[in-house]
Amino acid sequence: MPAPTCSQCKRNFDVARLLGTLRGYSTLTDSGTAPCPNCGVELEFRVRPGTLEMGYTYWAGSFHFAPVESFAVSHLRVTRHPLGFEIDGTVVRAPSEP
């Protein structure tokens, strides 16, 4: 699989930089939002074991995340943590949901 790429600027980005600027996280869809490290456009994503899925959320009676592209990132793992969640051994405090 290719390296993660921004859908807006079409440039590859570093996954750690993306996850380090997490702006929001939804436990309903297990997806998050963060700005592209290159152009700053807001990206929606979901972390799966060994995979970063880029896509969007939509409402169809309840929120859903629809992946558009998947990128292999072998070291990615998600584990629930009392403060939020853990990605690749780093605890990320999940921003509050409205």
Q: How confident is the model over 50-73, as pLDDT tens digits?
A: 899 999 999 988 889 999 999 998
Distance in angstroms (rounded) separating the CA atoms of residues 5 and 48 = 17
Taking only the tens place, the pLDDT of each residue in 23-54 is 888 878 888 899 999 999 999 999 888 899 99
Q: pTM surpassing 0.85?
A: no
DSSP letters spanning 22-54: --EEETTTTEEEEE-TTT--EEEEEEETTEEEE
Q: Report residue 52 CA to chain centroid gap.
A: 7
Question: Which H helix or E strand runs over 69?
Answer: strand 63-72
